[in-house]
Structure formats: structure tokens, C-alpha cells
Amino acid sequence: MSVPGLTHRIADRFRGFLPVVVDVETGGFNAATDALLELAAVLVEMTPGGALRPGDTFRYHVQPFHGSRIDPASLAVNGIDPHHPLRPAMPEKEALTQLFREVRRAVREAGCTRAVLVGHNASFDLNFLNAAVARSDLKRNPFHPFSSFDTATLGGVALGQTVLSRAVTAAGLDWDPSGAHSAIYDAERTAALFCAICNRFRFMYEEALERSPELAAGDHQAPPAED
């Protein structure tokens, strides 16, 4: 389809947002009281032909913050031993600082204004991320504070499946049950699912621009370069 004003830039595809897939493994369900134990993120990039694909992956083992709650039932699901002597865990602030540096670089290089979190049941991941940011008193969070893309919703609409494993399988992608509930595996599978669904709905995006070509110009500006 030839669409006036269509460019193959991810900054234009999502109004200046750069999608970054995030998955967290935790000691419970309460972001204010329960420990953040693992954090993984996958950058999303656009090919020269305009298709989305997963990019670089980052993973951090996180030390439980002082006074945090850890529910044994959660550990039974994610298989994490927070106090294992060989676990290469770092404080929340260090993990977030390292991740945010990578995300800010990706946002800048893509010509975007901000990152937007993509997650499966994204509000859960975003709540834990925001709580850790507040505890760490970090001032340069590249993620939008409340907007997100939820692959549980996208999977339900596009594939009739809201459970991650079922949506991934329904999309024709591989799923290894032994890898589930690892932050890096779930983040990478979520990224693959997000890209697959967006690519299949690409024709709707292009049709929308054909109907309203003025939308192709967007209303965002790239942020100034920063480290």
C-alpha cells in the first residue's frame, strides 16, 4: 500500500513513544510492600521495511529492598531463591539506573520522546517499576508514568487468548513451559507477541493514514540528546 506521508520510523508509528517490553518477578502482588526480585526488558525496533521486531534484551537480578515482604507462594511459582549466595543480585537503584541508561539511549537513537511500557497485564509491571523508582528516588525515568500497552488485551482482541502462553501459541510462536516465570523468558515472549500482533494489524494503521494523511506528521518532537 502506498500511503502519503508514511515513514518507516518507530517514532512515527507510536506518536513518539518507543515501546519497551518489561517483565518483573516479585515476592508478591503488592508493589508498595513486596520485593522486586527480577527485572527484564526488551527493546522494540522497526526494520527498514516497517515491521516491528524485538531488539536488545536486558536482565537484572534485584536484591529485596529493606523491609520488603516475600511470599513463599510467589517464590514457588517463579523459582527464585532471593538469598542464594551465588545469585548475582544488585540493589534496585543500580538495576534501574543501568536499565534506564539503555532505554534513554534507545529513545534518543529512535528519535522518540519517551518510552512506553509493554507488558502482559502491564499495570502489574508498571506499578512495580514505579514503586521501585519512588523508593530509589530516581529523577530520570524514561517511561511514561501511567500509559502502557497490554498484550493480555491485545491477545484477547486479536487471538481470543489472554493467558501469555496461550496467546503466544495462538500467534504461531514457540512456547517452552520450562522457561515460564523467568523475567527474561516472559519478556522475550511478550515482545515477540507484541510485534506479531502489531505487524498483523499494520494494514489498519496504514489505512488510517490513507484516510487521514495529516496524522502521519505526528505531534511529537525528539528530545535533546543526553547520556
* Active-site residue set: 181
d(CA 191, CA 198): 11
d(CA 155, CA 134): 31
d(CA 180, CA 191): 14
H/E stretch holding 54 reads strand 52-62
- In the chain, the amino acid numbered 107 is V
Best CA proximity match to 57, nearest among 83, 91, 22: 22
Q: What torsion, rounded to 10 degrees, do the Cα atoms 204, 205, 211, 212 define?
A: 160
